[in-house]
Amino acid sequence: MSQTSSFAGFSSARRTRFATPIEFTSLLVASLQAWRERVRSRRDLMRLSEHQLKDIGLSRQDAEQEWQKPFWQA
């Protein structure tokens, strides 16, 4: 009887809901777009002059550190 009572709450436990194919595709597309934007932004940052970097409060070293990050890392 104790086994039954210990498992009684298990059936009401929150179950993992898997994404539907449409949700999965939407999440995948959004991720790809974010990654592409991140790469573009980092490339643009590297193209800025020292003066432009200084204007936005960054050094060349800061820009290079950002450039070295993998595309999936924010």
Would you say 62 and 53 are in contact if contact means Cβ atoms under 8 Å apart? yes
Amino acid 4 reads T
Percent of the chain with pLDDT over 70: 80
Which is nearest to 46 in space by CA: 58, 35, 29, 34? Answer: 58
Is pLDDT larger for residue 12 or for residue 27?
Answer: 27
What does the pLDDT average to over 11-40?
88
Domain boundaries, the chain: 19-74
pLDDT confidence of 17, banded at 50, 70, 90?
confident
**Residue 63: per-residue pLDDT:** 97
Is pLDDT larger for residue 10 or for residue 71?
Answer: 71
Residue showing tokens 């932004």: 41
Residue showing tokens 């070293």: 61
Segment holding 55, helix H or strand E: helix 50-55
